[in-house]
Amino acid sequence: MSRPRILIDGDTLTLEQILQVARNEVTVELAPEAAARVRASRALVDRVAAGDTPSYGINTGFGTLAEVRIDKKDLRDLQRNLILSHACGVGTPLPLGEARALLLLRCNVLAKGYSGVRPETLALALEMINRDVVPVVPERGSVGASGDLAPLAHLALVFIGEGEAYYQGQRLPARAALERAGLQPVILEAKEGLALVNGTQAMCAVGTLLQLRAESLASLADVAGAMTLEGLLGSHKPFIPEIHDIRAHPGQKDCAAHLRRILKNSELVETHVNCSKVQDPYSLRCMPQVHGAAREGLAFARRILEVEVNSATDNPLVFTETERIVSGGNFHGQPISLAMDVVAMALTQLSSISERRVEQLVNPLLSGLPAFLANSGLNSGFMIAQVTSAALVAESRVLSHPASVDSIPSSAGREDHVSMGMTAALKGRQVSDFTRSCLAIEMLVAAQALDFRLPVKPGKGALAAYELIRSKVPHMDRDRELHKDIEAVTQLVDSGAIIEAVRSATA
Looking at the domain assignment, is residue 325 inside a domain?
no
Q: In terms of domains, do 336 and 384 share one?
A: yes
CB atoms within 10 A of CB 375: 13
Last residue of a domain, one of 198, 223, 239: 198
Q: What is the rounded CA–CA span in Å between residue 470 and residue 461?
A: 14
Task: Choose the catalytic residue: 56, 166, 167, 466.
Answer: 56
Residue 222 maps to a domain: yes
Residue 27's DSSP bridge partners are 5
Residue 122's identity, in one-letter code, is L
> Residues 244-303: pLDDT tens digits?
999 999 999 999 999 999 999 999 998 877 766 778 999 999 999 999 999 999 999 999
Whole-number pLDDT of residue 57:
65
Looking at residue 64, what is its pLDDT? 53
Residues spanned by the domain of 468: 207-318+331-505
Q: Is 56 a catalytic residue?
A: yes
Angle between helices 201-231 and 149-159 (to 10 degrees): 120
- For 244-256, letters b (16+ CB in 10 Å) and e give beeeeeebbbbbb
pLDDT, residue 71, reads 75
Residues 155 and 294 in one domain: no
Residue 352 domain-assigned? yes
pLDDT tens per residue, range 56-109:
667 766 565 556 676 778 778 888 999 999 999 999 999 999 999 999 999 999
DSSP H helix total and E strand total for the chain: 20, 9
* DSSP letter, residue 63: G
245, part of any domain: yes
pLDDT band for 34, please (50, 70, 90 cuts).
very high
Chosen domain end from 163, 198, 233: 198
Domain assignment of residue 324, yes or no: no
Does a structural domain hold residue 326?
no
Q: Are residues 376 and 472 in the same domain?
A: yes
Q: Which amino acid is at 147?
A: G
CATH at residue 131: 1.10.275.10
Q: Are residues 75 and 177 in the same domain?
A: yes
Cα separations in angstroms, 489 against 107, 430, 465: 37, 19, 10
Q: Which of 254-268, 342-356, 407-421, 455-469 is the least confident region?
A: 407-421
Among the candidates 157, 172, 198, a domain finishes at 198
- pLDDT the model gives residue 1: 67
Same domain, 305 and 386: yes
Number of domains in the chain: 2
CATH number at residue 238: 1.20.200.10
Q: What is the mean pLDDT of residues 150-154?
A: 97
Whether residue 45 is contained in a domain is answered as yes
507, burial (CB in 10 Å: exposed 0-12, middle 13-18, buried 19+): exposed
C-alpha torsion sign, points 243, 245, 246, 248: positive
348 and 492 together in one domain: yes
pLDDT at 68: 64
Contacts of 505 (CB under 8 A, 6+ apart): 460, 461, 463, 464
The alpha carbons of the chain give a radius of gyration, in whole angstroms, of 26
Are 180 and 213 within one domain? no
- What mean pLDDT value characterizes the chain? 94
pLDDT above 90: percentage of residues in the chain? 85
pLDDT in tens, 461-486: 999 999 999 999 999 999 999 999 99
Tell me, yes or no, whether 292 lies in a domain. Answer: yes
